[in-house]
Amino acid sequence: MRKFGVIGVGHVGVTVAYTLVTKGIADELVLIDTNEKKALAEQLDLEDAQARLDTNTKIKIQDYSDLEDADVVFVTAGDIEATRTGKGGRWAEFEETKEIVKDIAPKLKNSGFHGVVIVTMNPCDAIAQYLQEQGGFDRQHCFATGTFLDTARMQRVVSEQFGVNAKNVEGYVMGEHGESQFVAWSTVRINGRQLKEFAEMNHKTLDYDDLKEQARLGGWRILEGKGYTSFGIATCAVKLAEAVISDAQLFCPVSSYNEELDTYLGQPAVVGKNGVEYVADIQITDDEKALLKDSAETIKSKFATM
């Protein structure tokens, strides 16, 4: 039986739940929210939808004990208004999300849950580490979406610039899921060819700074337009959960613990039945290594002062 939990059924959490139910990924789903009426409403709405689906998902709400045998729990709680209106970007949520984690972590741990935790809360690198520490979870079993979404945005921007399908763009955005992130351009390829080579072959102008800025600002444009982001991040989270359930050994960037830099940050890793099976040792340039270190220091310094 494939069993999932979603803690926090706001815009992201409910999109995760809807995807799990309508795609027939979940046999059982547990929804938990501080607003019990909201949790009940989403349960009923999803149950109504199942009369027109080819699959069935058993849905429960508001009981942490139901998470004991869950395979994956998504932690999606937070306050997007703090990010949208406050100073400091995603870090504006940190004080509130830390308090949420203080409430969630012991309840999740005491439920007997021993599966994999996937975090989408902001600032996700710091919160994933904080949740791991507060709950006493193995680092391997607790990770965040990190730059998986930022990488998708980079793929979209590059694909639009060069007229290719985004699925044919490889490469990684690394570091913080935030302002200090960077595109590791040495890893970016289109149809198997390095980006610079592909641009030259097709007589295209290659402006790294412009591409980087477009990718970086993608999330903020969505936030400005509809007040929150949901589809992209929820899709990333569900794909990671599917990799856990199927032991897919998915190679992708996620926010996981870096031993050398002593912090959670976005980096390529392999995701399987045990969560982050291992962090990949990929080849990047010396300049990119410096950017990764700087981003790690940004995360650690902000984490220490908030």
Catalytically active residues are 177
Q: Is 192 annotated as a binding residue?
A: no
Q: In what order do the strands lie in the sheet with 58-61?
A: 58-61, 28-32, 3-7, 72-75, 116-119, 142-144, 250-258, 263-272, 275-279
Q: Is 12 annotated as a binding residue?
A: yes
> What are the percentages of helix, strand and coil residues in the chain, rounded to 5?
50, 20, 25
Q: Is 221 annotated as a binding residue?
A: no
Q: Is 90 annotated as a binding residue?
A: yes
Task: For residue 173, list its beta bridge partners.
Answer: 183
d(Cα 215, Cα 183) in Å, to the nearest integer? Answer: 9
Task: For residue 222, list its beta bridge partners.
Answer: none
Q: Is 78 annotated as a binding residue?
A: no
CB 125 within 8 A of CB 266: yes
Q: Is 216 annotated as a binding residue?
A: no
d(Cα 261, Cα 258) in Å, to the nearest integer? Answer: 5
Q: Is 271 annotated as a binding residue?
A: no
Binding residues: 8-13, 33, 84, 90, 122, 153
Binding residues for NAD(+): 8-13, 33
Binding residues for substrate: 84, 90, 122, 153
